[in-house]
Structure 1
Amino acid sequence: MDTNKTPLPPLSMYTITAKLFTHIEKSVTSAFGTEGKKLLQNGVENFGYKDAYDIAQQATQEGEDHVLNNYIPGNFDSVNKYGDTTIYGLMAKLFAQVTKAVVDVYGEEGRNSIKEGVRTFGEERGKGIAQRAKHLGKPNTIDNYLSNYDMGRSDLFEYENIFKPEVIEQTFTQCPFGQQWADDNLHEYGILYCQMIDPAVAKGYNPRFEVEHDQYVLKEGVCHFNFKLKEIEND
């Protein structure tokens, strides 16, 4: 086995954002059909077509197969709304606007459809992380999870990892997604992402992964996790 392979580069946030929208679109339209599509369109419009276009174009250039382009009309106001907002902030804003459009109409059913989209998005990413480890000849154990993560951690994240036997304890004191939702007073929509994403990514990486997420930036001011994955004992 080749042990000298170079690690695969992380996915860009443009690709991740377009991928997230694609999973949400599938879940929402499965639940609500044509009306769901209209609400997603409203969400993208409220976010801003030029900013959505820029994200979609970059993701396409990077090779991502996504549906965000389908929600951008041929003619739109070609002005970016958010100045120097980072792509992390833009992803949070797009998610919140799309989620708000659906949840404000469909309530709990809408929340469930959004959460299902985040779940499938997370599981796909987790499977990709397992493939990244496999590319280096490594199994999908707890030791190879964070080291093969698919999203780069910018300086906008402040966190601590504590490694214990069969457990990773992780605490985030700064998160650009949570901060953006808090700044925009869109906590109730952003929290749907927070509740689903990490358990879903972990399960996609290894179905035996268990995740305790007992504190949230949007509630307690920090995100606290325990990622647990027991080694399989050989008989």
Structure 2
Amino acid sequence: MENNNKIESNRIADDLEPVSMYQIFARMFIHLAKEIVEEFGEKGEAAVKRGVWNFGVERGKDIARRAHVRGQKNDSDNYLISYDMDRSDEFESIDTYGDGYVEQYFTRCVFASEFQKAGMEKYGWLYCEMIDPAIAYGYNPNLECIHEKHFFTDNVCTFCFKMKDCKGSKS
């Protein structure tokens, strides 16, 4: 029997708006974090933070590997250019490079947006406070992450990634 009604299984209907992997990841994270914290309280919260930290360190080590493959040092100049995650239009930032540091000013972040839409900022903090310092540390233990402004409180997010011996950073 011949089947003439074949459908490509990896295509969504043209009349549906796709949901990005970033949105799906954020939604999954808050549901997992919420269940763990509700079940185990402070110990659960600490476990989620450790999990995010370990995930971030692993990513940072891979970003360092990516810099190395390109023949570059794992310093602040090569951090973002070797990053493992593309910036889709769901993120919007201005990156400013200085001597031994790079600053980022985010005006859009799909993760923060999803956490806020769900009213789950409490669990979003567990991710947002840990992930970037952990990635920076995994990339280079001498790369500090200063995270002064946050979407949940300031409607923008700012980062300064600076080498510990850097004196030129604004932060």
Q: TM bucket by the smaller chain? A: 0.7 to 0.9
Is this contact kept in 1: 2:30–2:115, CA < 8 A? Answer: yes
Is this contact kept in 1: 2:75–2:100, CA < 8 A? Answer: no
For 1:187-226, what per-residue CA distance to the aligned partner results, in whole angstroms no more than 9, with x for missing partners? Answer: 1011110000000000000011111111111221111111
Query: Which stretch of structure 1 is more off in the superposition, 102-111 or 203-212?
Result: 102-111
Partner of 2:14: none
Q: Distance in 1 between matches of 2:165 and 2:83?
A: 20
For 1:31-87, what per-residue CA distance to the aligned partner results, in whole angstroms no more than 9, with x for missing partners? Answer: xxxxxxxxxxxxxxxxxxxxxxxxxxxxxxxxxxxxxxxxxxxxxxxxxxxx73221
**Matched letter for residue 116 of structure 2:** A
Aligned ranges for residues 164-183 of structure 1 at < 5 Å? 164-183=98-117
Is this contact kept in 1: 2:23–2:110, CA < 8 A? Answer: yes
Query: Once the 2 structures are TM-superposed, how far is the Cα of residue 137 of structure 1 from its aligned partner?
Result: 1.2
Deviation >4 Å, runs of 4+ = none
Q: Structure 2 residue aligned with 1:224, among 158, 162, 171? A: 158
For 1:67-117, what per-residue CA distance to the aligned partner results, in whole angstroms no more than 9, with x for missing partners? Answer: xxxxxxxxxxxxxxxx73221111000000000001012221111100000
Secondary structure in structure 2 of the residue aligned to 1:113: helix
Residue 211 (structure 1) aligned with residue 159 (structure 2): no
Partner of 1:8: none
TM-score by length of 2: 0.84
TM-score by length of 1: 0.62
RMSD: 1.6
Q: Structure 2 residue aligned with 1:143, among 50, 53, 77? A: 77
Residue 119 (structure 1) aligned with residue 53 (structure 2): yes
Q: Distance in 1 between matches of 2:87 and 2:42?
A: 32
Q: Distance in 2 between matches of 1:231 and 1:182?
A: 36
Secondary structure in structure 2 of the residue aligned to 1:125: helix
Q: Structure 2 residue aligned with 1:86, among 8, 20, 32? A: 20
Q: Structure 2 residue aligned with 1:160, among 73, 91, 94? A: 94
Q: Distance in 1 between matches of 2:18 and 2:45?
A: 30
Partner of 1:199: 133
Q: Distance in 2 between matches of 1:95 and 1:144?
A: 29
Equivalenced residues, count: 151
Residue 105 (structure 1) aligned with residue 39 (structure 2): yes
Partner of 1:21: none
Is this contact kept in 1: 2:33–2:48, CA < 8 A? Answer: yes
Secondary structure in structure 1 of the residue aligned to 2:136: helix
Q: Distance in 2 between matches of 1:86 and 1:181?
A: 14
Q: Distance in 2 between matches of 1:231 and 1:192?
A: 29
Query: Once the 2 structures are TM-superposed, how far is the Cα of residue 230 of structure 1 from its aligned partner?
Result: 4.5
Structure showing greater relative contact order (alpha-carbon pairs closer than 8 Å, 6 or more residues apart): 2
